[in-house]
Amino acid sequence: SQKIEQNSEALNIQEGKTATLTCNYTNYSPAYLQWYRQDPGRGPVFLLLIRENEKEKRKERLKVTFDTTLKQSLFHITASQPADSATYLCALNQGGKLIFGQGTELSVKP
Amino acid sequence: NAGVTQTPKFQVLKTGQSMTLQCAQDMNHNSMYWYRQDPGMGLRLIYYSASEGTTDKGEVPNGYNVSRLNKREFSLRLESAAPSQTSVYFCASSALLRTDYSNQPQHFGDGTRLSIL
């Protein structure tokens, strides 16, 4: 079955810098990959979806890439702000269901 | 616009007790899901309902039952709670596009924090 790996170590960056989070998967390439944001005590909130035939997708300061050769998705937040501090989850489809990674905690310091 | 509403928000049970977690969505979504989230484990799917009238097991269904009461409501029942079921439980919903609902964003409630002593 599919296994998803996100960096379990928290990512600490300075305000204004670009944050880059990684999502690696182990088996077949999924047709879709999604990214979510989760704040403490809250449920995940959908951010972006990227399809396997899309190399890159952007939404405001967010950018997601999808490399099916490397079996990897990168999630970028440009001009990061303290309000971007949260845990970010990637998820991919398997057999019609979503499989989630464990998430990477991002902390943006002013 | 409430989205996905879960009740209760917190609950403490003793081992062997039973309870039902409630979930309702007001987005007219066809598909609904129950997940549990444990530290370091990520979200794991317990059960899901692709559409009204159907339910299927997810990755970790043992010890749980579900009921899709109508299009809006999807409940999760613990018949005999065990300490291993201490977790945060999330309900989610999504639209159904043809037969593939995994390409649709999921909308989550804010969870039920359940402790079993």
Examine the pLDDT at A42 and tell me if it is beyond 60.
yes
User: Residue B117 corresponds to which tokens in the numbers above?
Assistant: 């002593």
Between residues 22 and 41 of chain B, which touch chain A (CB distance below 8 Å)?
35, 40-41
Predicted confidence (pLDDT) per residue in B59-84, tens digit: 999 999 999 989 999 999 999 999 99
pLDDT at A108: 97
Alpha carbon of A52 to those of A1, A26, A28, B101: distances in Å? 19, 15, 11, 16
The pLDDT of A42-65, averaged and rounded, is 94
Residues 6+ apart with CB under 8 A from A40: none
Dihedral (CA of A38, A99, B70, B68) sign? negative
Is the separation of the CB atoms in B78 and B64 below 8 Å?
Answer: yes
CB-CB under 8 Å, A93 with B43 = no
pLDDT at B101: 52
Give A56→chain B minimum CA distance, Å. Answer: 16
pLDDT at B28: 93
What percent of chain A lies above the pLDDT cut of 90? 70
User: Residue B36 corresponds to which tokens in the numbers above?
Assistant: 């549990």
pLDDT at B41: 82
Predicted confidence (pLDDT) per residue in B9-62, tens digit: 999 999 999 999 999 999 999 999 999 999 878 899 999 998 888 999 999 999
B43 vs B80: CA distance, rounded Å? 22
Question: Which residue of B5, B7, B43 to mutate against A (max A Cβ within 10 Å)?
Answer: B43
Closest CB from B4, B102, B105 relative to A96: B102
Kindly report which listed range (A43-52, A92-101, B14-23) carries the lowest average pLDDT score: A92-101
Band the pLDDT of B97: cuts 50, 70, 90: low
Q: Does B114 touch chain A (CB under 8 A)?
A: no
Examine the pLDDT at B100 and tell me if it is beyond 70.
no
Examine the pLDDT at A29 and tell me if it is beyond 80.
no
* Interstrand relation of B10-13 and B112-116 (parallel, antiparallel or unpaired): parallel
User: Residue A48 corresponds to which tokens in the numbers above?
Assistant: 């972006």
Q: Kindly report the number of other CB atoms within 10 A of residue A83's CB atom.
A: 8
Q: Does B4 touch chain A (CB under 8 A)?
A: yes
Cis peptide before B8 (omega within 30 of 0): yes
* Interstrand relation of B4-7 and B19-25 (parallel, antiparallel or unpaired): antiparallel
| Residues of B whose CB is below 8 A from A4 | 42
Q: How many Å is the Cα radius of gyration of chain B?
A: 13
Mean pLDDT of chain B: 92
Is the separation of the CB atoms in B2 and B26 below 8 Å?
Answer: yes
Examine the pLDDT at B91 and tell me if it is beyond 60.
yes
Give A44→chain B minimum CA distance, Å. Answer: 6
